[in-house]
Structure 1
Amino acid sequence: MLYPPWLDPYDAAPFIAFSTSHMISIIIIAALVLLLFLFRHSLRRLSERSSRLMRIALAALMIGCEIVLQLWYVYGGIWSLQTSLPLELCSLTLLLSALLLLTRTRWLYSAVLFAGIAGALMAIVTPNLGYAFAHFRFIQFFTAHAMIILALLYMTWVEQFRPGWRSVAGSMIFVNVAAVMVYVADVLLGANYMFLRHKPNTPSVLDMLGPYPVYILGEEILALVLFTLLYIVLFAIPDRLRRHQNKRKTKSHQVHSKIG
């Protein structure tokens, strides 16, 4: 069967890490995150109906990313139980983040926040991907991972969900529970979802974490470090600066009141 070049699952240009297309993709995703942050106040002022429609649209796009991927697997004749089920960590956080947008469930937010952002960031920087731009799989891969980050930051910056240190623990629990369940599926199916039975064939951060099964322990430590850093950079430091700024404003107001 002849496939269009941008859909061909067999004869496509290979992905090259940190190539021009890879770097442009990273820049575009970073720009989208920045725009979401800059327009967060405007988005908060949307009506309840508009806000709900926004969340539904984002969730639909995320679910659509997974649906079109599954359709492409079938179209290309490469769908299989061993490689095509949405059992990778980013596939799980993609679907759960979409569910979070629809339900606004706080425990789900705590569970997937850091796992989703850290996992998507790692995937964007070191993709386990075999297709270069402008293949469908390249576009779908970066769109799906960008949407995970944007959805979780949307719930944080626009819907104003706030994590605590318990959210770091919640994400660690989620990752480990998911890993146990996926490992059982790996054994039953002879698969390697979440790379729990061996490393991926393409270069990845796992190459720096030792041989199997040592790298799994390394992943645990790396996850804890990344989740903690994300909490400190995205929440702890900004919250401290905000409190400091509010104290200065209060003192300044008190001084002006006394003068007046």
Structure 2
Amino acid sequence: MWLDAYSSDVFQAFSSPHLVWIGIIAAVVWLLFVLRHQIRSRDKLRAWLRWLLAAILLASEVCLQCWYIQQQVWDASRTLPLELCSITLLLSSVMLMTRSRLLYQFLFFAGIAGALQAVVTPNLAYDFPHFRFIQFFVAHAAIILASLYMTWVEGCRPTWKSIGLAMLFLNGCALIVWIADLLLDANYMFLRGKPDTPSLLDLLGPYPYYILAEEAVAFMFFSCMLLLFKLLSGKRESASEEITA
């Protein structure tokens, strides 16, 4: 039953399994933050973790595509990796393998924000312990961890310029995906309609106005992320100066 594409176990938002997985992701993020100095100071450990995260990202997408085929539900209009989180997943694996600071400028914002929104309000049909449930949360956790790894271990830093690059990249992706939607009669990135399950898009008005509202929300969210990052970084630097004084 855990692989059945027609399973009757329907996902329920903020159910016990959902909250447990949110807690697991939060705990792993906290652990990465706590151990960041130890990881950074050990070259082999740093490389091992970087490649492990990249492998998890790629494996999660490969396994998902294999599941679609095995269950005979693969459909170009629904199962191609053209959702924002699928795009950021693949780019996150490339970022980790190449340690690309250019990709980081986009993924720190779009990757973390998109995956975080997906974790809190999943567009998901299957409940735990279905394969799709586990794959969904593992993949989105890895997207978040990839950018945090680059920040806390590799020393990358987001800037105000990063927000501009992220917005340009996001709109470029949307344009390409919108063309694909028209050609495939699809609705990737929800550019032709809202998802069937509850999401933050429900608060942004009807189609197509919610797409314009998304632009403003994304810019505000990215700005808040950067301000929070600078605030926390400033506090850590002040604390370090006090200790060494």
TM-score computed with the length of structure 1 as normaliser:
0.91
Alignment-mate amino acid for residue 31 of structure 2: L
In structure 2, the CA distance between the partners of 1:55 and 1:249, relative to structure 1 (3 Å rule), is closer
Structure 1's unaligned 5+ residue stretches are 254-260
Q: Percent identity, aligned pairs only? A: 53
Q: 2:230 aligns with which of 232, 236, 245?
A: 236
Q: 1:17 aligns with which of 13, 16, 26?
A: 13
Distance in structure 1 (CA, Å) of the matches to 2:42 and 2:242: 30
- Contact 1:97–1:151 under 8 Å retained in 2: yes
Aligned to 2:193: 198
Q: 1:76 aligns with which of 29, 54, 71?
A: 71
Aligned to 2:148: 153
In the TM superposition, residue 111 of structure 1 has moved relative to its aligned partner by 1.6
Aligned to 2:95: 100
Distance in structure 1 (CA, Å) of the matches to 2:93 and 2:9: 31
- Contact 1:97–1:112 under 8 Å retained in 2: yes
* 1:221-252 CA distance string (max 9 Å, x none): 1111111111111x2102322444456567xx
The aligned length equals 245
In the TM superposition, residue 46 of structure 1 has moved relative to its aligned partner by 1.0
- Contact 2:83–2:189 under 8 Å retained in 1: yes
- Contact 2:39–2:45 under 8 Å retained in 1: no
Distance in structure 1 (CA, Å) of the matches to 2:154 and 2:189: 30
In the TM superposition, residue 214 of structure 1 has moved relative to its aligned partner by 0.5
Aligned to 1:258: none
Structure 2's unaligned 5+ residue stretches are none
Aligned to 1:183: 178
Alignment-mate amino acid for residue 76 of structure 1: Q
Alignment-mate amino acid for residue 82 of structure 1: S
1:132 aligns with 2:127: yes
Q: Tell me, what secondary structure is at the counterpart of 2:27?
A: helix
In the TM superposition, residue 12 of structure 1 has moved relative to its aligned partner by 3.0
- Contact 1:37–1:157 under 8 Å retained in 2: yes
TM-score computed with the length of structure 2 as normaliser:
0.96
Alignment-mate amino acid for residue 235 of structure 2: L
Alignment-mate amino acid for residue 131 of structure 2: F
In the TM superposition, residue 15 of structure 1 has moved relative to its aligned partner by 0.3
* 1:99-128 CA distance string (max 9 Å, x none): 000001111110211000000000000000
Q: 2:42 aligns with which of 36, 41, 46?
A: 46
- Contact 2:46–2:153 under 8 Å retained in 1: no
